[in-house]
Chain A
């Protein structure tokens, strides 16, 4: 069971949109629509922002959106704000009834 692959870092200016990719295999992302995304500010617990590929929990800004194509899931953040600067992690259900996280992506708001 290998970790999902995310870019180590992405950056964008306030107001711009950015996309973070999360690449897995046919044993996880490719075969199941159970991808979730979390943001984590330094020293804090992760916070769920997307579940089931594209659903948003109550209270999460609609600036966050998720999608999936083949073995790759994506998180898009539109209208970047300074408060979006954080680490982002994807997570997928995988065959054998397991879960696997991505390595994490550090978002810098320039």
Chain B
């Protein structure tokens, strides 16, 4: 059973770039034709889809974040990554990585990582 773990800095200053990595264990990413996604949750608020990336590298992004988001995948390292530029306090959230278990882009995420809190503050 695959497990996911997010990693990256927990504190950023406004205008900096957020970079997170999700490491997948329990099976090679290249062995499965899955999408992999990022979802965030501001403190006390709901879930927001950020984007999803196919194992081959094709991407789908949330239109509201598209200008600032880049996702990449490195199947040799069993990792995929999120880059969000020009962060503000509004980007403070718990960031989750997850696998889209459908095998296509249908938005049913399982499993999820445990989440990592990223705080943007001067």
Q: Are the CB atoms of B46 and A100 closer together than 8 Å?
A: no
A101 at interface, CB cutoff 8 A: yes
Q: In terms of DSSP, what is the predominant structure of the interface of chain B?
A: loop
Complex formed: what's the CA distance from A97 to B35 in Å?
13
B96 and A45 contact, CB distance less than 8 A: yes
Q: Tell me if B74 is interfacial: C-beta within 8 Å of chain A.
A: no
Check A86 for interface membership: any CB of B closer than 8 A. no
In the complex, per-residue mask of A40-60: 1 if CB is within 8 Å of any chain B CB, else 0: 100001111001100001000
Contact, CB under 8 Å: B49 / A99: yes
**Interface SS, A side:** strand
Query: Which residues of chain B are within 8 angstroms of A96 by Cβ–Cβ distance?
Result: 63
Stretch among B9-17, B25-33, B78-86, B107-115 lining the A interface: B107-115
What residue of chain A has the Cβ atom nearest to residue B52's Cβ? A99
A34: contacting residue among B52, B61, B106, B115, CB under 8 A: B106
Q: Which residues of A contact B (CB under 8 A)?
A: 1, 3, 34, 36, 38, 40, 45-48, 51-52, 57, 89, 91-93, 96-104
